[in-house]
Structures are given as structure tokens and as C-alpha cells.
Amino acid sequence: MENYKKFGSFTMAYSIKKDPQFSHFPHEKGSIAYQDKFGVRIFVGDPFCHPCDAAAVINAFVKESRLLRRPLVGMQCSLETARHFSNHGFDATHMGVETLILNDWSIKGKNVGRRIRKAQKRGLVISEARWDSDPTLAQQAMDISEAWRRTRKTKTPLNLLLREPTFRDEPDERTFFARLDGTLVGYVTFEAMYDQNRKIGWYANINRRDDSRNIAIFDAIVDEALGTFKAEPRFRVLSLGLAPMAGRHNEHGFSNRLVERVSDLSYNYGNDGYNYKGIFQSKKGYWPKSFESNPNQVEVRDTYCITKGSIPLDPVAKAFMGVGILPEGLAHTAWFATRMTVAGMWREFRKTSHSNLVTFWKGLTASL
């Protein structure tokens, strides 16, 4: 996909290029990656085109989707892309924030610093290596990945949003490994980000670790990798990826209130199904205490979910099934979402209230 190295400056660009599940809507000015699933056209990230051509590419994409009667749902789109879709009558609801580490980032004064120093004191050793440097490395990493998957709240891979490891060397990928007392305990694969055929940064996409070690393996790897990347020419950014549902809703006037409400419920009470709060707090540890006093250290980028219609629950649910966030089947999805939300609300209620079940029921019905 030739547009990747010209316009692949957004976090999801490499994953889109490598994932065979994606089709690509072609246009003379660029392209848009999408997948048709469950009768919904799901697209991820931004168009592969020059910013001044985005309106034309999106216009053609929307027109074709309408002719095919495919409802559109977009995920992890930038504010600029959200504005273009808004011009076609779509809503764009805040769906989370990406944390991007910039060239002047320093560990000084960051909450993550304590976690990294603890890991270093424990003797964690980080090194970059090729997969073919050790014939046993792939199997060791597979064992860690399988054990890691068993500890996840979401057992199904998030197909379109996160790539699965391949355990082999690929162009535009680099992998750093963590060892403790000589034993492999984790690894992170970074994917290249491009702009106008120049490599400008990396995305920490594939992250597997042995959480039983109770040390910040991912953070220690990021710290080592960042030092390596910053020493290389043209480096601008290291993306830590998306914290779903986190952050404030936009005030741009094109948010869907129902999707916004579902997002709030998911983040506040759906952590039995997906670790929304834990992921956000982990990435927030890289933020400076004051962005104004520490410019060019971290960029926090809002991302948006694109939908159409005042009650888009059916296409959104199908899109979430398509990426693996929700189980397949609308009945299973409704039961899963209800069970996770009620369980989360009950847990929060017990933490903060000494009231009775009547009070809990009133609070539950007021939130739905």
C-alpha cells in the first residue's frame, strides 16, 4: 500500500497496511481503509491522503457507502476527520484519547518514573533484538502471550484495533524484550509511522508481559525504546495508543448524546468487561503535571466514533462486534453489556454508599 509511507502519520496506519481484513476504498487523491461486517461498513483511523484532499476522498467514500446501503461507523478518527464527516450529517462522539510522547519528553516529574525505577532496581534488563536472533525466542514469546491472554478481561482479540503478534521479523517493525534473571518476561513490538516517505516515529502496539512479576515491564521497555528512537534522525513521536472511552466529551456540536451516554456508562461501570480505567491511568502516568510548563513532551489527542442517526445502537453494536469489543450476536451483546454495567454500578455503589437496594435501583434507572 503505497499511501502508507506518504500519509501514515496516524497511529493505526501500519496496522491497517498489514491487516488482510481491511479493504481499501480507492480514490485518485488517496484511500480509506474499511471492513464490511454484519452489514455495517467499519472504518478505522483517518484517510490516507494529503489533508487538503481529505474532503474529496471522504465525500466519495460516503457516496459509495450510501449507494450500497451500508451504514458507516468510524473508530479512532481524528478531529479533522470528524469535522469532514459532520459536514455529511454524521455525528462524531468522543471515544477516547491517545497519548503521544514527543521529542523533549523526560522521565523527570512523571508518575511513571517510580514504576520504571522500581523495575530497574529489580534487575529488569531490556534489549532490542530480531526474532531470528534466537531459535527459542518465538516459542518463549508465544508462551508469554498465551498466559497474558488468559489474564485479560476481554478474551477475544480486538481484531481491527490491535494487531496480534506474528513472532517474526517484518519491515517497519522493531521489538524490544524484557528479561528478569535471564528469563523472558515481556516484549513490545513497535510499528513505524511515516509522513511524506519519512519515518517520523513509532507506535507501541503489541504489548505482552508476565503480570505475575508485579513490575512495570511495559513502561521499562518504552523507556529503553524511547532512548533508542530519540537518538535516531527525524524522530518526532512515540504513540502509546488509545485509552478507550477516557477523557472529556467534545464541545464541537456534533456529538451523539446516546453514544456519549453509552461511552460514559462503559468507562464508569464496564471495567469488568474491559479495563478502561486501568489503561487510562497507566498512560496518564506519562503526562507532565503541567503541559504549559513542559511543552513538546506529550500530546494528548482526542479520537472520535463516527455514526449516523439519533439512535445508532444497531450499527454501533455490530461495529463493536466486528472489532471484538462485544460478543457476536445482538442478544449476547445486550446481555454482556447489561451484566457488566450493572455489576460495575453495584460495586461502585457498595464502595461509596451505605444506602439500601431501593436507592441503588433509583440510581441505576436514572443512568440508563
Domain boundaries, the chain: 1-328, 332-368
Total-model pTM: 0.86
- CB environment 195-234: b (16+ within 10 A), e (fewer): beeebebbbbbbbbbbeebebbbbbbbbbbbbeebeeeee
Q: Which three cell numbers stand for residue 35?
A: 471492513
CA distance 218 to 211: 10
Query: pLDDT at position 271, please?
Result: 77
pLDDT score, position 9: 93
Which superfamily does CATH assign the domain made up of 1-328 to?
Gcn5-related N-acetyltransferase (GNAT) (3.40.630.30)
77 touches 242 (CB < 8 A): no
Q: What's the CA gap between 217 and 140, in Å, rounded?
A: 16
In the structure grid, which three cell numbers stand for residue 73, read together? 461507523
Please tell me the predicted confidence (pLDDT) of residue 20.
85
**Closest Cα partner for 191 from 230, 237, 160, 156?**
237
The rounded distance, in Å, linking the Cα atoms of 26 and 1 is 11
Low-confidence residues in the chain, pLDDT < 50 = 331-333, 335, 364
| CA pair distance 217, 202, nearest whole angstrom | 18
pLDDT score of 319 = 82
